[in-house]
Structure 1
């Protein structure tokens, strides 16, 4: 099979051995796979949980395709099922899917559309429902809402019964599109008055819950936009992995600040996250109520252009590689 790997001179497509499904695994013919920022980080030497850009090992962590072979003990799936999942070895003509962590692709949804969903759905459900303990009617701020997971976060918040949903972006054009994906109020976080706008929209209190994809030095303004005894769940650090943190502000507002990385979770914890997302959002997934826009779909052979587009941060939604 053809697979995109991190070769001696960077990413390249090679001929690799098609994997065989083990117990509780299925072999999937991949029709589309999507890029995540973690893919770029791994190319630069970082690890992502159990994954790294190892030489001659297929890269990628999100795919959509068709089940073509069952391993021992598989009960939930059959050959021919259309499935999507987050999983290792996504950038290849064939990959292995674990029985408990795949989602059925809704009828009428393309593989290109489907590959954009798994990571965003399970990340945002875990952030909002499990770590954020969102209650019906509460207000939510998605800080960095024009990312793919941010766009999903606003939609999931609405599905979970959130009241006011606020999204931020640093780009006016992207900010203008946030209402298409669930934002009741869209703000440019580079504007000096954005925190006051959040306070004005929440009767001076601040939001109940923040899902933060930004962190860095923006964290203090994020805390100012959060109500007393509110909660902040950190997912990303697009503005920096470190920065000035106002401990007195954090203390006086009695904020709960939660880290929610998947990289330090064991396989059982990952399965629990995905099963919780499927149970809570299964109907919304099936009805295609949750979506992430496809920014650009590239042919598999054009992977360099896809990686370059992601590295330039020019995209809105997901960048997809199509394998036919």
Structure 2
């Protein structure tokens, strides 16, 4: 099969062996695969959890048809249209644990649209509802809201009953579009006064829950913007792996600071997260009220160009690879 493989000279399309499903896995004939920020690190030769390094196939999510199932799989059969998080999805085929996969709703959802959903759905539902313990009527702020995951995060927060949904972006054009995706207050995190605007919007209380995809230099501002007994869930580090941390402010506000990643989660925990997200969100996904914009599509043969487009950070919404 054809796949986008990490080599010493960059990502190249090569012929590799077609994978075979283990007893708990399904084999997916990939029709579309969506790009994620973590793919840039893998493409550069770094590791992301258990994947990465020379010879790795890039990619974390896809949509396609089930071609074969393992002996222990009960919920899927060959021919089912599915979307799933999975390793090595810049390819014609991949295998994944059946507990990670969703059947694509029986509506007009395209392969490209379906491929955009799995990582964003499980990441943001877990960050908001699982780790973040969002309650109806609470306020939410998404740092890095103009990313695909961030755009869906704001929609999920609204769907789950948040009273005020706020989002940040340092790009003026993208920030202006956040309202389309459930944002009540769009903020520029370069503005040193943005925490004051959050407090004003929340009647002086501060925001109940922050989902932070930026980290780095915004940590202390997050705590300034947070309510007493607020929660901050760290899901990404686009602004840097390290930054100043005001321990006294953290203690003064009694903030829960929670780190999450799928890299150290076992299969059973991931299955539970996927199941919980499906229970809360699937009717809205089937109705099309939770959806993501597609910025641009590329053929699989242009995987390197698609990654360059993501690295340039000029996109709004998801970038998608399609197979022939």
Query: TM-score, length-normalised on structure 1?
Result: 0.96
1:311 equivalent to 2:274? Answer no
Equivalent residues of 2:45, 2:54 under 8 A apart: no
- Name the residue aligned to 1:34: 34
- Name the residue aligned to 1:88: 87
Q: How many Å separate the matches in 2 of 1:89 and 1:43?
A: 11
Equivalent residues of 1:169, 1:189 under 8 A apart: yes
Q: How many Å separate the matches in 1 of 2:126 and 2:46?
A: 23
SS in 1 for 2:298: strand
Unaligned runs of 5+ in 2: none
Q: 1:66 to 1:32 in 2, by over 3 A?
A: same
SS in 1 for 2:18: coil
Deviation at 1:311, TM superposition (A): 1.2
- Name the residue aligned to 2:12: 12
Q: How many Å separate the matches in 1 of 2:239 and 2:96?
A: 34
Deviating above 6 A after TM superposition, structure 1's stretches of 4 or more consecutive aligned residues are none
Deviation at 1:304, TM superposition (A): 1.7
Deviation at 1:191, TM superposition (A): 2.2
- Name the residue aligned to 2:285: 285
SS in 1 for 2:228: strand
Q: How many Å separate the matches in 2 of 1:220 and 1:70?
A: 48
SS in 1 for 2:20: coil
Question: Structure 1 stretch 63-72 or stretch 130-139: which is displaced more?
Answer: 63-72
Cα-Cα RMSD: 1.3
Q: How many Å separate the matches in 2 of 1:317 and 1:210?
A: 21
- Name the residue aligned to 1:268: 268
Q: How many Å separate the matches in 1 of 2:236 and 2:29?
A: 31
Deviation at 1:24, TM superposition (A): 2.5
Query: TM-score, length-normalised on structure 2?
Result: 0.96
Q: How does 1:1-150 map to 2 (within 5 A)?
A: 1-55=1-55, 57-106=56-105, 107-150=107-150
SS in 1 for 2:137: coil
Question: Structure 1 stretch 39-48 or stretch 59-68: which is displaced more?
Answer: 39-48
Deviations 1:103-139 (A, max 9, x none): 1112210101111110000000100001100000000
Q: How many Å separate the matches in 2 of 1:37 and 1:118?
A: 14
Deviations 1:210-268 (A, max 9, x none): 10111112111111111111110011111111111111111111111110122121222
